[in-house]
Structure formats: structure tokens, C-alpha cells
Amino acid sequence: MRNRLINIAAIVGVLLVTTLPLLAHHSFAAEFDGSRTVTLEGKVVKLEMVNPHSWLHLDVTKPDGTVEHWMAEGGSPGVLLRLGWNRDTLPAGTKVKVTGAPAKDGNFRLNTRSIEFADGKKLSMGGSNPDAEQPK
Amino acid sequence: MMKHILTLAGLSIGAGLMLVSMPDTVAAQQQSTKAQPAATATAPKPAAPAAKPAGPAYKQPMTSWGEPDISGMWPINHLVTTPLQRDPKYGDRAYLTDDEFKAAQTRADAQKKQRASGALPSSESGAAIRQTSLIVDPPNGRFPALTPYGTQLQSKMNSTYKPGKDAEGSYDGIEDFGPWDRCITRGLPVSMEPRNYNNGIRITQSPGYVVITTEMAHEARIVPTTALPKLDPAIKEWLGESRGHWEGNTLIVETTNFNGLTELTSAGVPGSPGPLQPSTVNMKTIERFTRTGPGTMDYSIKVEDPTVLATGSLTVASPMMLDNSYQMFEYACHEGNTAIRHYIETARYAKAHPKPATAAPAGGARGGRGGRGGGGTPPQ
């Protein structure tokens, strides 16, 4: 528990956020902690464009060389398609920085607020996160 | 759905019919002269936004078999900025003044920009309509109070949007979730009301049938418009059993045989009074579809359920706009509905780790794996 907290603390920024009532298929707050923010830098493993919400899988290499597998929740495939996403938007191996609200139970899941590429471009993943950034 | 198909097939076989075309003569007999429901007859006519007035010259297109043609894609994204319930400051006034309408458009544009993140991706979301609320009856535009029985039912309902549900962490089984959480249905009237995504509604017609397909959640409401007998009252369905008929150019759909397990409102519907308004098996809905121009259609749904609504009924009017360029993607909600498992896991974790309840915990007994599959293993 303690080591895990330290590890997460290395990549987690904590801040208070305001929320807007953007409601998803189910309540956001039951699973994710909207008062906290996790920022991950890793490589895309795969993108699951599944309903009701999509999942982006990424491997995050920690300073000690070990790898954590994270899942980032986004909008439904319909939402992503209307935003211009397709199956090639995030190919495996792409380096991304993902920011979002972490799971309350400590599993390696977060609800995505924004995705940023190595060149600084940002991408919205839609979804239920009340603070999802606008696409750049 | 399968049950619905089987039911229809059974009725068709029993009547010596197949689920194909009905003779025009039978369809013509269904041009009912039944009077309009009082509430909808007196309800103010809703105004569609950004649409040219039809004017008296508008001629209703007809299908090749002689019924009014209301087919097409009628997404309702443009309604998300109009609240279901009316702001009490408007009283019984159903329409905005010119100045109020202008202000509403400004707010809608701002909201569209704010939600451009994808939670509300459609460009139509910038529209405003003249109505002060989607509820047009009762006259004050407010969701009616519940009867004592309705209040009793309400206390037993569950949903992830139930007030206090998250704080309690009380998810331990499927019964702790609502039908929408479980990807079953939004029910009626909610399936015909707007929310922040997946607002497509497609209407298709064949001789003797109208099919209303809702994008959320990928449901096809099959409405016979011929003299099909009513379903046995003992048979209950999530979306009820519909029967339609034409009165002039208006399609009227009456639906009964509800299972009483759905909500009359949903937290996702803007301006909703609350997520947990109960329905019962006594519910009946009456919908009216009337094209008013090449790209506009008046739509209303009257919900009757005196067992739970103190007023006995309510009517929602929501003008539709034709947009055949809108693409409806399959919303196969069940395919990855991880929320049920994740919420139960989260609640059980909270019970096992009461201090601190919201701190970022270590993997502990869970091993810190990703929720589904974990460790990159594909979901099973």
C-alpha cells in the first residue's frame, strides 16, 4: 500500500476541480474520484471502441523500470466517431500523456480528461468526465 | 427484443398474416376518427427551431402505398438546451418572448462551445427553441407531484444517479442499479427525450408498420398501423406494446403493456426533476407525429399513469428536425458495460477500506490490475 502510494504520488497531481452536469450512461462519481487528477505518460497498447464507454489501454513505465498497465475511459464509439476518431487514431506504441480522474478503488483506471501527444497536440476522448478538455 | 419479435410473429400467425405488407384497404380502415386526447389537443403547438415555417402551401408527402410519409432521420440534439421542466419564473407561459429567445440562443451557443469536448458532439446542439420547457402539460410545465403510492414506489427504486447512492457505496448486486445502468432501456417516455449524446431517432415505414429506432439504446419500436388485436394485458414489456393509426396526416401511437420497471425521467435529460420517478404497469402513452414542413415535425407524448402522477398525466412536446445526414451508430450498450462490475468492486473496496475512503489506495488485495482483464489481457 505504502509503496504504491509513493509510486502514484510521483505521477499524480492533486487539485480540486469544478464539475458540470455532463451525464453519461451511468454516474461518474460512483467509480472515479473527480476531486483528484492523475497524469500518466505511456505508450498505447490498444484502443477498445466499445459501448457504452471506450477504453484506452496504455503501458506506463515507472522510474524503476517496471510497467503498469492502465485503462483510460472515454466516450462511446459514436461520440468518438463524431469527434473524428477512427481505428487508426491511436495506434499501438503511440506515446501519449493522459490526464484524468482516478478510480476510487485504486485500480489502474482513470476517466479521461485529455490526451496529449508528444508534439503538444491534444485530443478529446469525450465521455463522462465533467472536465474533459476541448479538442485542440 | 426477441420476445417482442416472437410476440408479433405469434399474433401474425394466429391471424393468418406474416410480418409483411397489409392490404391498402385494411390500412385505410385504420384512418380512425377517434378524437384527439384532450391534453394534446389543447397543448400549445411547439415551434421548431431554425426551420422555415411550413406555411399553408406545405403538402404532406405520401408513401407509395398511400400513407403519410414521416420516414427519415429525426435527431433531437437541438432540444438539449431546452429543459424538460419549466423554470418557475415563466409560470404558465409556454413560449419565450423574442428577447428571451435571443438570450436562449446565446446560452445555447455558449453551451455548445463548452461541450465541444465530445460529451455533446453534435453541431445541432447550438439551437434553441421557442418553448420554455418540453413539458407542456400540466400548464405550469412542471413534472407532477407523485401520489402517495408513487412516493412509496420511488423509495424502492435504484440507480447510479440516486441521490446519496455514491456516498453510501451501496452497490452489491444487480438490484442496486437501474435499467438504464444495466443497458436494458431508458424506457418511455425517456427514450424519446434528448440527452447529451446519441440523440438519433430514425423512422422507417412499410405497409402496415412504422418502426421508430432510437440510437440510445439501439431499440426498434415496432408500431403496427393495421387492425392488429391488442396484446393480452398479462404480457408486459420494457417499452410496452404499441398500436398506431393515422388521423389525417398525424400518426397516433398508443402504447400499453408496460412492465412498470422503468423511470418516467432520467438524470441525463436536461432539466429533469430527478432520476427516480416511478412508472407502473398501468402506464399508457399516446404519441402524435405530424409533419409541419419539409424538415420539421411536431411530436408529443402524453403519459397517463394515475397511480403515480397526482395530475393523472403529463405531456411532453418536442419538435423534431429532419437531418438525413446524421449517422446513427450502433449503441450496443451491453458489449462493454463494465460499470456494473466496477461499481460493485469500488463499493466493496470502500467497505473494506473505510479509512480513508477516497484516498488513492495501493493495489493491495487487488494487485493493482486494470479493472477488466488487467495486465493487458484482452477482455473475456
pLDDT in tens, chain B (380 residues): 344 443 333 333 333 333 323 323 223 333 333 333 333 333 444 444 444 445 567 899 999 999 999 999 999 988 988 999 999 999 999 999 999 999 999 988 877 776 655 445 444 566 899 999 999 999 999 999 999 999 999 999 988 888 777 665 689 999 999 999 999 999 999 999 998 788 999 999 999 999 999 998 889 999 999 989 999 999 999 999 999 999 999 999 999 999 999 999 988 888 999 768 999 999 999 999 999 999 999 999 999 999 999 999 999 999 999 999 998 888 888 888 888 998 899 888 888 887 654 544 433 322 222 222 222 222 22
State the smallest CA–CA distance between residue A37 and chain B in angstroms. Answer: 11
CA distance B74 to B298: 11
Chain-chain contact of A4 with B362 (C-beta, under 8 angstroms): yes
Q: Identify the burial level of B170 via C-beta atoms within 10 angstroms of its C-beta, where 0-12 means exposed, 13-18 middle and 19 or more buried.
A: middle
- Omega before A52 within 30 of 0, i.e. cis: yes
Among the listed residues B66, B59, B53, the one whose alpha carbon sits nearest the alpha carbon of residue B246: B66
Nearest to residue B224, comparing CAs of B251, B238, B245, B247?
B245
Structural domain count, chain A? 1
On chain A, the residues whose CB falls within 8 A of the CB of B214 are: none
Q: B36 — contact with chain A (CB < 8 Å)?
A: no
3-state secondary structure of B100: helix
Interface test with B, best of A6, A12, A23 (most B CBs within 10 A): A23
Task: Check which CATH number belongs to the domain holding A67 and give it.
Answer: 2.40.50.140
Q: Note if the pTM is more than 0.90.
A: no
Instruction: Write the CB contacts of B25 (distance below 8 Å, at least 6 apart in sequence).
Output: none
In this structure, what C-alpha cell is assigned to residue B298?
411536431
Contact of A56 with A75, CB cutoff 8 Å: no
> B12, exposed or middle or buried, with CB in 10 Å at 0-12, 13-18, 19+?
middle
Question: With left for phi above 0 and alpha for psi between -120 and 50, is residue B111 left, alpha or beta?
Answer: alpha
Whole-angstrom Cα distance, residue B250 to residue B229?
A: 21
What are the residue boundaries of the structural domains of chain B, listed by start? 62-335
Per-residue DSSP letter, A65: S
Q: How close A113 comes to chain B (CA, Å)?
A: 9
**Contact B119/A132, CB-based, under 8 Å?**
yes
E strand spans, chain A: 12-13, 37-48, 55-61, 67-73, 95-102, 109-117, 122-123
Find the domain containing A37 and state its range. Answer: 2-123
Consecutive H or E run containing B212: strand B209-214
**Does A131 fall in a domain?**
no
Under 8 Å CB pairs connecting chains A and B tally to 188
Q: Is A134 a member of any domain?
A: no
Contacts of A94 (CB under 8 A, 6+ apart): A43, A44, A117
Q: Is the ipTM of this complex over 0.95?
A: no
